[in-house]
Amino acid sequence: MCNGMAIPDYQTFMLPLLQLAEDGKEHKLTTAIDVLANKFNISDEEKEELLPSGTQTIIYNRIGWARTYLHKAGLLNTPKRGSFQITNRGKELLKQHPKEINVNTLNQYDEFKSFRTANKDKVANKVQDEAYNFGTPEEALEYGYQRINENLSEELLKTVKSCSPVFFERLVVDLLVNMGYGGSRKEAGEVLGKSGDGGIDGIIKEDKLGLDIIYVQAKRWENVVGRPEIQKFAGALLGQKARKGIFITTSGFTNDAAQYVKNLENKVILIDGLRLAELMIEYNLGVSVLANYEIKNIDTDYFIEE
């Protein structure tokens, strides 16, 4: 589950992590990350790669779980948060000169097997098994969440394309209002479609006070939008002496169109069908919440004794 990155999976980190602790000293996890990153020739850029949630680096997550599994198998101790130290069992395993350490290796220890089978919930175990085989538990959840949203995006976009052009324009306004533009829904609806310019479908306030306005073009199209359409929109903006515009389509944009807006003096944002669906999901438009899951961690401040 490396997604093309050079960062090894968490099982690959197990043996070198245990070898790092072979001196019997207490080691910090943050130091271990630097050492193992050098060992596997992981670049600084790759070290900064984040999980889909953006809450943690992938390398920290994987090495952290490698340490956790070694600890559950009794090969490492964790004297304090963020540190680890080898146990006698860990030393004995290294004396056998293993070529690798993985989940199958750890299954020889009863403590680890108990850890794996502690949760009898079938759904949880399915996620857990995916984590054991492909990545860490966080990764299994986050990439699973990502796959769910990708499927939802496809279904959502298909539904949007089946709507009438009038409904699509209203959908665009609703989305922009949900994102914080346009003031109230009533105010936004009043200004949409009143420009009368051939290259502009409507205008919307940038903020609730109306300090600036954004010109909007909304196209429920199947064909890819090319540079001529964007040039027409940019020309309409120039005619209105407008500084900002948003071009939204249910299809996509050609590379030429995308490159063209980069060289414009005015700011023009292109939103294709996929991005439109993603924004609808993010801002809860046309979707409903099926379930919520919270990932919690220990609050170390709570346990500080004065």
pLDDT at 254 over 90: yes
pLDDT of 89 over the 90 cut: yes
Picking from 2, 81, 45, 6, the residue whose alpha carbon sits closest to that of residue 303 is 81
Contact 36, 17 (CB under 8 A): yes
Q: Is the pLDDT of residue 290 over 90?
A: no
What's the first-to-final CA gap in the chain, in angstroms? 44
Is it the case that residue 2 has pLDDT exceeding 50?
no
Length in residues, the chain: 306
Residue ranges covered by each domain of the chain: 14-149, 165-271
Most confident of 77-91, 104-118, 159-173: 77-91
Determine the pLDDT at residue 27. Answer: 96
pLDDT above 80: residue 147: no
As beta bridge partners, residue 249 has 219
What pLDDT is attached to residue 195?
Answer: 43
> pLDDT grade, residue 1 (50/70/90)?
very low
If you compute the radius of gyration of the chain from its CA atoms, what whole number of angstroms results? 26
Residue 306: band (very low, low, confident or very high) from pLDDT cuts 50, 70, 90: low
Q: Is the pLDDT of residue 132 over 70?
A: no
Look-up of token digits 């939103």: 271
Q: What is the pLDDT of residues 99-124, one digit of tens each?
A: 999 999 999 999 998 877 754 444 45
Report the mean per-residue pLDDT for the chain: 84
- pLDDT band for position 134 (cuts 50, 70, 90): low
Q: Which of 11-20, 27-36, 92-101, 286-295 has the lowest mean pLDDT?
A: 286-295
pLDDT at 278: 93
The pLDDT, as a whole number, for residue 289 is 83
Give the per-residue pLDDT at 141. 80
Which of 57, 59, 56 is CA-nearest to residue 6? 59
Helices (H), 48-109: 58-72, 88-95, 103-106
Name 32's Cβ contacts closer than 8 Å, sequence gap at least 6: 17, 20, 63, 67, 84
pLDDT (0 to 100) of residue 298: 78
Q: Which residue has the tokens 């196209």?
A: 219
Better-predicted residue by pLDDT, 164 or 151: 164
Quote the pLDDT of residue 246.
93
- What integer pLDDT is reported at residue 3 of this predicted model? 41
Q: What is the pLDDT of residues 260-284, one digit of tens each?
A: 999 888 899 999 999 999 999 999 9
CATH class of 165-271: alpha beta
What's the pLDDT score for residue 293?
Answer: 76
